[in-house]
Amino acid sequence: MWSAAAMLAGGALLPAALRSQDPARGVRIGLTYAPGTKPGVIVAPVAGAFGDSVQAIVQRDLDYGDRVTVIAGAGVLAAGTASATTPNYALLARLGAAALVQCEPLAGGRVRVTVHDVGAQRAIESREAALVSPAPSRAWRQSVHRMADEVERTITGTAGVAATRVAYVRGGRVWAIDADGAVTEAVSEGSALSPAWRPDGGALAWSAIGDAGSRIVVKELATGRLRTIGATPAGLNITPAFAPDGETVVYAHGREEGTDLWAARLSGDDPARRVTVGRGSDNTSPTVSPDGLRVAFTSGRSGRPEVYISDLDGTNVELLTDFAFDEQNYRASPDWSPDGRAIAFQARVDGLFQVAVITLRDRGVKVLTSEGKNEDPSWAPDGRHLAFTSNRTGGAELFVVDVETGRVRQLTHDRGARLAAWSPRLGAPK
């Protein structure tokens, strides 16, 4: 509403010469469509060597975003929606489309992306995107995903999360899979658990399990550099989580008198600082709030494992929820949502773990899964999707659930995949 008004005002005031240059450049107004419905979107066929791949990737990314309905099929071709031609808006509207996306290959691996508002019968966005060559490499696919995320922003007002990856564990190693499930890459050697992304997406931390104990390792993804942090070589060092500053790592350090949370700096030689005082209990799996002030974690301090929240200095401890799902409560593996408003966790329901989300404002609980055993949720950067482990198809696999609609898709086809960690939005490599 505001943007539309601003554009109208701008249009009225700008000299005609300037206005004619690029009517929509830099202005995003989104589409007008009924709230609660998913607008229909048609992605026009894309010319060029990998045009079909571009169209397929953008279609799938928009579909996985769960905010629009992708319309595909013969009718679309009949509409004559080839890029860079004037669209047949009336026909598009009859096909149910609220928006049309055209991608026109340019020289030097660039693409002109145009988004049309079918109802308004005009282009609302037209800009160039750079694709990383060579196609169809992993980097190229990621650049197509970034393009699709921007298209989703133009149409819905919220950027997509296609240009992200999900780190996970299988066969003792850390892997990273693109959010659309297309490409998987090994990140660690050896025995590793509980990967966690640095907020800039440039590094992963995990717990390296050795014969004599475990340690927290951080890998810079660009250079491959490995660091051990925490300076607590012996004993148990598990479940790292980055604070929003990208410098502080909170993790669980186990000694003979119990396992507590500690905080260490990534750089510098400061000694690790103890966070929780569990008095002999086990405290693991921290997740730091997006404002960096609080931490949620699993603790057995009252007997059964429960999720607690405390300040990052360990004070002001409170139980996340006393809601009873099961005769014997067991709640674990919290993950704080990127908007700070909710925490996802696993809770035992009728003897099996299920993924649940609690809203912090009113402590309302929503259980999202019911099929099989479902564990270790991790939020996507949109605060709307969760990756989690499920054995619903037999072996452990990663799945993604849309918290709004409950729609679920399988991410890995790997048997034994678990402990998902969804990356932040990943920018172009520098």
Partner 1 sequence: MTQQMSRRGMALALGAALLAAACSKKPETAPAPAAVPPGPTAGIAAATGGDSAARAAARDSVARAVAARDAAREAALRKVRDDSIAAVRALASKTAAELKQVLLATVYFDYDKSDVRDDTRAALELKLPILGANPSLRVRIQGHTDERGSDEYNLALGQRRAAALKRYFTDRGVAEARIDVVSFGRERPAAPGEDDAARARNRRGEFEILAGGEGLQGPR
Q: Is 259 in the site for partner 1 (CB under 8 A)?
A: yes
Q: Is 170 in the site for partner 1 (CB under 8 A)?
A: no
Count of positions on this chain that bind partner 1 (CB under 8 A):
38
Stretch that binds partner 1, among 64-72, 94-102, 124-132, 210-218 (CB under 8 A): 210-218
Q: Which of 72, 209, 277, 317 binds partner 1 (CB under 8 A)?
A: 209
What x/- string results for residues 394 through 423 when contact with partner 1 is judged by CB under 8 A? ------------------------xx----
Stretch that binds partner 1, among 35-43, 139-147, 216-224, 276-284 (CB under 8 A): 276-284
The CB-of-355 to partner 1 minimum distance in angstroms stands at 12
Q: Is 191 in the site for partner 1 (CB under 8 A)?
A: yes
Q: Is 285 in the site for partner 1 (CB under 8 A)?
A: yes
Q: Which residue has the tokens 């019911």?
A: 370
Nearest to 119 by CA among 6, 21, 4, 18: 4
Stretch that binds partner 1, among 23-31, 94-102, 251-259, 380-388 (CB under 8 A): 251-259
Q: Which residue has the tokens 């998987």?
A: 184
Question: Which residues are registered as beta bridge partners of 238?
Answer: 252
Footprint of partner 1 on residues 319-348 (CB under 8 A)?
Answer: 330, 332-333, 346
Residue 384 tokens, joined = 């709307």
Helix H or strand E segment including 6? helix 2-13
Q: Which of 55, 143, 239, 354 binds partner 1 (CB under 8 A)?
A: 239
Q: Is 249 in the site for partner 1 (CB under 8 A)?
A: no
Q: Is 211 in the site for partner 1 (CB under 8 A)?
A: yes
Nearest to 116 by CA among 102, 105, 127: 102
Residue 381 tokens, joined = 């950067």
The answer to whether residues 374 and 390 touch, using CB atoms and an 8 Å cutoff, is yes
Stretch that binds partner 1, among 131-139, 146-154, 187-195, 378-386 (CB under 8 A): 187-195
Choose between 143 and 299: whose C-beta lies nearer to partner 1: 299
The CB-of-235 to partner 1 minimum distance in angstroms stands at 8
The answer to whether residues 141 and 56 touch, using CB atoms and an 8 Å cutoff, is no
Choose between 184 and 207: whose C-beta lies nearer to partner 1: 207
The answer to whether residues 194 and 167 touch, using CB atoms and an 8 Å cutoff, is no
The CB-of-256 to partner 1 minimum distance in angstroms stands at 4
Q: What's the rounded Cα separation, in Å, for the pair 115 and 381?
A: 24
Q: What's the rounded Cα separation, in Å, for the pair 355 and 375?
A: 6
The CB-of-297 to partner 1 minimum distance in angstroms stands at 10
Choose between 114 and 285: whose C-beta lies nearer to partner 1: 285
Q: What's the rounded Cα separation, in Å, for the pair 409 and 390?
A: 11
Q: What's the rounded Cα separation, in Å, for the pair 142 and 221?
A: 15
Choose between 10 and 395: whose C-beta lies nearer to partner 1: 395
Q: Is 190 in the site for partner 1 (CB under 8 A)?
A: no
Nearest to 205 by CA among 187, 184, 178: 187
Choose between 17 and 212: whose C-beta lies nearer to partner 1: 212
Using a 10 angstrom Cβ sphere, with 0-12 exposed, 13-18 middle and 19 or more buried, the burial of residue 139 is middle
Footprint of partner 1 on residues 62-91 (CB under 8 A)?
Answer: none
Q: What's the rounded Cα separation, in Å, for the pair 117 and 151?
A: 12
Q: What's the rounded Cα separation, in Å, for the pair 377 and 374?
A: 8
Q: What's the rounded Cα separation, in Å, for the pair 327 and 317?
A: 24
Which residue ranges make up the site for partner 1 (CB under 8 A)?
172, 191, 193-194, 209, 211-214, 234-236, 238-239, 252, 254-259, 282-285, 298, 300, 304-305, 330, 332-333, 346, 353, 375-376, 418-419
